[in-house]
A and B are shown apart, each in its own frame.
Chain A
C-alpha cells in the first residue's frame, strides 16, 4: 500500500478520535520527533518531556488538520514550535544565551571564556561533545535552524515552513548560528587550523 494511502487511513482514524489511529501516527513519527528534540535539548529526559508535549499538541490540533495534506510538514511544525516554547530547566543558561544572541563575536568569546564550567568540560571532551554542548548554548531559533538544516537535512523552504519564518530570516539564523559555532570551536582549539 502506498505511503499516502496508509497516512490517509491513519488520519481518518485519528479524526474519528480512534486510539489505534493515534497509536499508529505517534509510532510512525516518534523516532523523528525524538531525534529533533534530543538535538535541541541535548538531554534524554528533556527530549522525552518534549515528545510527550508534541504528542498532546498533535492530538489537540488534529481537528484543524486538513485531510489530504501531507502529514510530515505539519508534524515538523508542531515539533519546532514545541521546541521553541520549551523553557530550559536551567534558567541561568537561558539568560546568558539570549544576551549572547545580541552581541558581537568578541563579546561572545569573552562570555564563553568567563564560563568556567564549559571550559572545564571542554578540556577533556572530544570535538563531538564540544559541538553538542555548543549547539545547546545557541539561542533557540538559531539552534533549531542549524539542527533542521544540517542534522535533519531540510531545505531553506522546508525550514521556513516549519518555523513559520521567511527564507531570509532562516538564512540569517543559519549564518549567525554557524558563525557562533565556528568561533567557539576555534576558541576551544578543537581544530588544529
Chain B
C-alpha cells in the first residue's frame, strides 16, 4: 500500500474523512513508521496551536486609548464638519501669516506712516493734485483725438 499523502493525514486529524477511508488510514499507520511520524508531527503542531488558543494574549490598556482617540477623531476633530466661521478664521490667519514678511521690507512701514501724516495734514493738497493730474490727462487725450 502506498503512503498516505499529507493532505489526507491533515483531513484525518481534522475529522474530515469517511469511515472507510479512516479504517484504511489507521491500518496503514499500524505498519508505516514514516506516516506515523508525519502524523505525530501534525498532531504536535495542532497541539501547539491549541496551546496558543488557550493562552489568550493580554489585552493592553492602550486598546481603550485607541478607542477613545478614534471616537474623538470621528466625532470632534472631523475636518469635514468645520463651521464656515472656523474656515474663514483659518483663512484670515493664513493670509496674515503669509504676508508677515511685508512688515520687514525696509521703508514700507515708515513710508506708509509719512503718507498718512501728509494726507492728514493737507487733504486738500492731495485732492487738488489728483484733480490737476486728471485734468492734464484729459487735455492730452483731447489733443490727441483732435489731431
Assess A52 versus B40: contact at CB under 8 Å? Given A34-B63, A151-B52, A175-B10.
Answer: no
**One of B65-73, B89-97, B107-115 contacting the partner:** B65-73
Among B10, B48, B64, the residue within 8 A (CB) of A128 is B48
- CB contacts (< 8 Å) of A185 on chain B: these are 41, 44-45, 48
- CB contacts (< 8 Å) of A151 on chain B: these are 49, 52-53
Among A27, A30, A182, the residue within 8 A (CB) of B45 is A182
Among B7, B44, B66, B71, the residue within 8 A (CB) of A22 is B71
Does residue A31 face the partner (Cβ distance < 8 Å to B)? yes
A191 to chain B, nearest CB (A): 5
Does residue B42 face the partner (Cβ distance < 8 Å to A)? yes
Among B41, B57, B67, B69, the residue within 8 A (CB) of A30 is B67
Q: Is the interface of B mostly helix, strand, loop or mixed?
A: helix
Q: Which of A30-63 contact B (CB under 8 A)?
A: 30-31, 34-35, 38-39, 44, 48, 51-52, 55-56, 59
Task: Give the A interface residue count (CB, 8 A).
Answer: 37
Assess A23 versus B71: contact at CB under 8 Å? Given A48-B63, A51-B66.
Answer: yes
Bound CA–CA A153/B63 (angstroms): 23
Does residue B75 face the partner (Cβ distance < 8 Å to A)? yes
- CB contacts (< 8 Å) of A55 on chain B: these are 66-67, 70
- CB contacts (< 8 Å) of B60 on chain A: these are 34, 44, 48
Q: Can you identify 16 A-B contacts, CB atoms within 8 angstroms?
A: A19-B71, A27-B67, A30-B59, A30-B63, A44-B60, A51-B66, A59-B70, A150-B53, A151-B52, A152-B53, A175-B6, A175-B10, A178-B10, A182-B41, A191-B41, A193-B44
